[in-house]
Copies of this chain bind each other. A is one copy, B any other.
Amino acid sequence: MTESNYQLSSLPTYARKELRELVRSQLKALLEQADFKGAKAILQPVQEADIAEAIEGLPETMQVIAFRLLAKDEAIAVYEYLDSSVQQSLCEKFKRQEVIDIVDKMSPDDRAKLFDELPAVLVRRLLGELSPTEREATAQLLGYEASTAGRIMTPEYISLKESFTVTQALDRIRSLAKTTETIYSLYVTDAARSLTGILSLRDLVTSPLDKTVGEIMTREVISVQTGTDQEEVARLIQRYDFLAVPVVDREQRLVGIITVDDAIDILEQEAAKDIYALGGVQSGGDNYFQTDLITVARKRVVWLFVLLLTNTVTGSIIRAQEDLLQQVVALAAFIPLLTGTGGNVGAQSSTVVIRGLNTDEITAMGPMKIIVREGMAGALLGAILGTVATAWAYVLQGNLAVAIAVGLSLLAIAMLASIAGSALPFLFRSLGLDPALMSAPFITTAVDVLGVLIYFSLARLILQI
């Protein structure tokens, strides 16, 4: 975590955005003129996160040059802020020694993240060239499954012993402050490295100097396991307003911590995943605006093929009713209205349920209660829309039988859609599948196919064909 924050000057945020734009365009212009001294000068007073953004905005060939202009320590800090796709492309262009220098100085959790993206051959070679302690720390993190606490934790925390006095503890913190992720959350371990308590720097600073750590620490600690899902960890930090949470292995030994800044990024990632899933786009970890067109198309085409298939089924149902349609062509005009409304009512229900599942807001009610409630909401919406649609259809076409068939179908479809929309996310969740990703295709299929069937059946019944 960064605690000191400096900038060209104390600018309001809207001006800061323009400032970042300016840095980017100036940097590009100076590099194009090969004015490296000038480029170096304008980067000097800029925040590391902003330098990273400026570099990301450059053409690939210039990225390496701009990066090489940075002082060594700064280069490492900037590198950690870069998007992983840019990190990777830089890594492939660096000289061997440059890569080793950077990778050796990165923090173990960031390094594990980078190694995730690099080709396995390169990773093995790099791991071999790291200093032994760094190699061990990284190899350990890489041993945990992706998206778990073990993979995202940092092993750079401060641990204390119960017997330490406050003075001793403060001395230890002072000596370790430069190399740890945070000094505000402190962890107490016994001889077997088991976590026995935690305390905050606030606790320490407000206690008499001769008290021992064991006397002021909190013994009942909320911790997570190395295998805990990263989203669960982030929600825990959010729920209790923690600055960090300790990670223990199966033997309750402290192996790392996860800090609040990582929690924010995880929650953002998860929100993005849900948003993309709802929009029918597969999400990767990458920044979308840095991926190529083929990848973009590939991430969308699957969902579109599912719809193509669904629509073929719907289409063949419609075709099977050609006799009906030929007699009452007016019926065809309402098909988009019915499937469209059904799809939207279903999406509304599933959106609410999926969001509730992901944020744990839903736990207070059981699935049954929510499905019944959504079904009632669907019936209410269906009744309102059905009444309006019946009146409308009658005014437009003057065929009362068709108008009633449309209205009744709308009521039935809205109920069906809201029940399917609320029940399917629970079903997928219980099967261990991601509700956000799985629900939409199935809801669309169910609503389209069943909706059209209901419509034609009702129409035949009412029109007596």
On A, residues with C-beta under 8 Å from B are 1-10, 12-14, 16-17, 20-21, 24, 45, 47, 49, 53, 56-57, 170, 173-174, 177-178, 183-185, 195, 198-203, 205-206, 218-225, 228, 232-233, 236-243, 245, 248, 252, 260-261, 263-265, 267-268, 271-272, 274-276, 278-281, 287-289, 293-294, 296-297, 300-301, 303-305, 307-308, 310-312, 314-316, 318-319, 322, 325-326, 329-330, 332-337, 339-341, 343-345, 347-348, 350-352, 355-356, 359-365, 370, 373, 376-377, 380-381, 384-385, 388-389, 392, 396-397, 444, 448, 452
Interchain CA distance A183-B243 in the complex, whole Å: 13
* Residues of chain B contacted by A274 (CB below 8 angstroms): 271, 275
| Nearest B residue (CB) for A314 | B336
Say whether, besides A293-B373, A344-B307, A355-B275, A238 and B222 are in contact (CB < 8 Å): no
Docked-complex contact B335 and A335, CB < 8 angstroms? yes
Docked-complex contact B10 and A222, CB < 8 angstroms? yes
Q: Can you list 14 contacts pairing A with B, beta carbon distance less than 8 Å?
A: A3-B184, A5-B198, A7-B222, A10-B222, A13-B225, A276-B351, A276-B355, A289-B365, A297-B381, A310-B340, A311-B341, A315-B333, A315-B336, A318-B333
* Residues of chain B contacted by A203 (CB below 8 angstroms): 3-4
Q: Ordered nearest first, which 8 A-B pairs have the shortest CB separation?
A: A279-B351, A3-B200, A271-B271, A311-B337, A241-B261, A6-B220, A315-B333, A57-B364
* Residues of chain B contacted by A21 (CB below 8 angstroms): 363
Docked-complex contact B3 and A341, CB < 8 angstroms? no
Docked-complex contact A9 and B220, CB < 8 angstroms? yes
**How many of these chains are in the complex?**
2
* Residues of chain B contacted by A219 (CB below 8 angstroms): 6
* Residues of chain B contacted by A272 (CB below 8 angstroms): 355, 359
Docked-complex contact B280 and A17, CB < 8 angstroms? no
Chief secondary structure at chain A's binding surface: helix
Docked-complex contact B1 and A195, CB < 8 angstroms? no
Say whether, besides A199-B4, A380-B297, A385 and B308 are in contact (CB < 8 Å): yes
Most buried by B among A10, A47, A347, A350: A10
* Residues of chain B contacted by A183 (CB below 8 angstroms): 201-202, 205
* Residues of chain B contacted by A296 (CB below 8 angstroms): 373, 377
* Residues of chain B contacted by A271 (CB below 8 angstroms): 267-268, 271, 274-275
- CB of A218 to closest CB in B, whole Å: 5
| Nearest B residue (CB) for A345 | B304
Docked-complex contact B228 and A12, CB < 8 angstroms? yes
* Residues of chain B contacted by A201 (CB below 8 angstroms): 183-184, 201, 205
* Residues of chain B contacted by A45 (CB below 8 angstroms): 220
* Residues of chain B contacted by A280 (CB below 8 angstroms): 344, 347-348, 351
- CB of A400 to closest CB in B, whole Å: 17
Interchain CA distance A356-B356 in the complex, whole Å: 24
Docked-complex contact B336 and A330, CB < 8 angstroms? no
Docked-complex contact A376 and B13, CB < 8 angstroms? no
Docked-complex contact B3 and A243, CB < 8 angstroms? yes
* Residues of chain B contacted by A361 (CB below 8 angstroms): 287-289
Interchain CA distance A395-B168 in the complex, whole Å: 81
Docked-complex contact A308 and B341, CB < 8 angstroms? yes
| Nearest B residue (CB) for A326 | B329
* Residues of chain B contacted by A5 (CB below 8 angstroms): 198, 218, 220-222, 240, 242, 245
Say whether, besides A289-B356, A385-B304, A392 and B222 are in contact (CB < 8 Å): no
Say whether, besides A275-B278, A329-B322, A240 and B49 are in contact (CB < 8 Å): yes
* Residues of chain B contacted by A170 (CB below 8 angstroms): 205
Interchain CA distance A278-B348 in the complex, whole Å: 9
- A47's partner among B240, B279, B389, B444 (CB-CB below 8 A) is B240
Known: A17-B360, A260-B260. 15 other contacts (CB 8 A): A10-B223, A10-B252, A24-B364, A263-B264, A267-B267, A271-B271, A275-B275, A275-B351, A281-B351, A294-B380, A300-B345, A307-B341, A311-B340, A315-B396, A318-B332
| Nearest B residue (CB) for A271 | B271
- A337's partner among B24, B252, B279, B315 (CB-CB below 8 A) is B315
